[in-house]
């Protein structure tokens, strides 16, 4: 009997080949028109494809997805619209319509057992009614800035080390209002798990999907805290790297849900144990040469690299809200738990905001450690790159004087953010004001003093947890 449904299902090794080829075209900045034509042809020719998942992120970094019928996309790709008033930080109800362009270079073939059969995924570009870039779309801002650097022959490279927790039960974050607690799936600790235990099976499942998506995996392991994980992969051009952060978290959440568990990227969901970070490695290259490397430079870094990181240190407090954008993230910046809260650089001290890893001509880089995994990856990378390349270079006395620390609460971080002329200039007045407004709206629903216990409000009103239904309950 002929199957009722025959939607596309591709073996993992073949998916990896397809996605690595697409990633290479993107990194080489192949002509967008040629890429669009090739992707549209693939959609037309592959009869087993039924839908295109288009992703975009709001101002706070929450990922949104729309599934479009393939046939509709083929005839209406240049006229996709959505209601922006339903997205936090986007347009008001009176001017709600926004357009959704397609960045065809960011095309992914998908494993059917995780995403569903017959689907592909692509990242979208949020546009205003007239088709121009929308001010709240930080992905477009990052992509355009990387394109500007590329015109000078410079490539911005990034890789992210994203930590998270695995908890028992589905929707553990949204159910926190009722339960008031998270339940660990494992208490094995750093690098320790049995081959068949739940945490290891989760990590293995995620790593398989990441490999298929072209992440170019390196290593994965349980982290220091109970039920904590980290999966590392290779560096990429900054916009690709930011997309991979969103896919990393999406894959982890979906794999966990299929196992009746919850993958959480809250910075500090449980008091008394290490929190989760998103250490971000950065470098600049030009014509294949690492601009951050100098064998004779201090700690193996060039003057360009030292200027880059010193600009970030000089603007550290202004950047803090972007890097740590939730009430809960300031609970993580506790020096008792390896927290990188000191505004300094070090090759050894892991309490420093910036660390200099051991590197060579290929791998020399800086590692910005004071970043929470719930930050908007597009906004975070855009702000760090603009600051590192164009920010004010502080004098030596500012950097090497008395110890300086990042804010220990979100209200101080908001004040520093609002007071920064440079941040306002690079974000624009709308995005700058709206981002601060959203952060204050969530902060005002939590006690100002964090105290020693994680509060329900830190979880329920977190931008990656709350939704219209939950928000309206309070």
Which residues have a catalytic role annotated?
83, 161, 163, 223, 230, 279, 350, 367, 369
Helix (H, G, I), strand (E, B) or coil at 70: helix
Q: How far is CA 1 from CA 5, 60, 148, in A?
A: 12, 50, 56
E strands along 94-227, which residues?
Answer: 97-109, 119-127, 154-168, 217-222
- The span from the first CA to the last CA of the chain, in angstroms, equals 54
Q: Tell me if residue 465 falls in helix, strand or coil.
A: coil
Among residues 269, 316, 320, the alpha carbon closest in space to that of 460 is found at 269
Question: CA torsion angle for 437, 440, 441, 446 (degrees, to 10)?
Answer: 170
Hunting for tokens 């839908």 — which residue is that?
51
- The answer for residues whose C-beta is within 8 angstroms of residue 389's C-beta and 6 or more apart is 149, 284, 308, 311
Asked whether 82 and 134 are in contact (CB, 8 A), the reply is no
Residue 92 in tokens? 């008001």
Residue with tokens 């407004």: 437
Could you tell me how many residues make up the chain?
474
């Amino acid at each position: 009997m002929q199957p009722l449904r025959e939607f596309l299902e591709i073996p993992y090794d073949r998916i990896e080949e397809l996605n690595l080829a697409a990633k290479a075209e993107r990194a080489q900045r192949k002509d967008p028109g040629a890429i669009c034509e090739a992707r549209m042809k693939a959609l037309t020719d592959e009869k087993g494809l039924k839908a295109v998942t288009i992703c975009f992120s709001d101002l706070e970094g929450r990922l949104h997805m729309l599934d479009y019928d393939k046939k509709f996309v083929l005839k209406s790709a240049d006229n996709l619209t959505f209601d922006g008033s339903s997205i936090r930080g986007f347009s008001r109800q009176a001017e709600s319509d926004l357009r959704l362009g397609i960045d065809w270079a960011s095309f992914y073939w998908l494993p059917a057992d995780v995403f569903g059969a017959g689907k592909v995924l692509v990242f979208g570009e949020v546009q205003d009614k007239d088709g121009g870039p929308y001010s709240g779309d930080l992905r477009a801002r990052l992509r355009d800035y990387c394109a500007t650097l590329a015109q000078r022959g410079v490539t911005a490279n990034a890789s992210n080390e994203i930590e998270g927790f695995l908890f028992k039960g589905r929707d553990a974050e949204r159910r926190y209002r009722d339960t008031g607690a998270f339940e660990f799936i494992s208490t094995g600790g750093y690098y320790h798990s049995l081959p068949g235990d739940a945490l290891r099976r989760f990590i293995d499942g995620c790593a398989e999907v990441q490999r298929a998506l072209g992440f170019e995996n390196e290593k994965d392991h349980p982290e220091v805290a109970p039920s904590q994980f980290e999966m590392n992969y290779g560096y990429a051009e900054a916009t690709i790297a930011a997309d991979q952060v969103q896919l990393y978290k999406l894959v982890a959440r979906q794999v966990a849900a299929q196992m009746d568990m919850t993958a959480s990227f809250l910075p500090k969901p449980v008091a008394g144990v290490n929190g989760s970070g998103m250490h971000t490695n950065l470098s600049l290259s030009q014509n294949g040469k690492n601009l951050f490397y100098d064998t004779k430079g201090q700690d193996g870094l060039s003057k360009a690299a030292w200027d880059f990181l010193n600009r970030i240190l000089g603007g550290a407090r202004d950047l803090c809200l972007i890097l740590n954008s939730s009430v809960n993230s300031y609970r993580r910046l506790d020096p008792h738990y390896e927290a990188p809260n000191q505004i300094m650089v070090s090759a050894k001290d892991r309490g420093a905001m910036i660390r200099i890893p051991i590197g060579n001509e290929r791998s020399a880089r800086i590692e910005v450690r004071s970043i929470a995994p719930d930050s908007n990856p597009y906004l975070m990378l855009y702000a760090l790159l603009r600051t590192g390349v164009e920010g004010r270079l502080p004098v030596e006395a500012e950097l090497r004087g008395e110890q300086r620390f990042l804010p220990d609460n979100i209200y101080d971080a908001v004040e520093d953010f609002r007071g920064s002329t440079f941040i306002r200039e690079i974000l624009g007045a709308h995005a700058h004001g709206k981002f601060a407004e959203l952060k204050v709206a969530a902060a005002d629903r939590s006690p100002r003093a964090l105290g020693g216990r994680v509060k329900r409000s830190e979880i329920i009103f977190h931008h990656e947890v709350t939704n219209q239904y939950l928000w309206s309950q309070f």
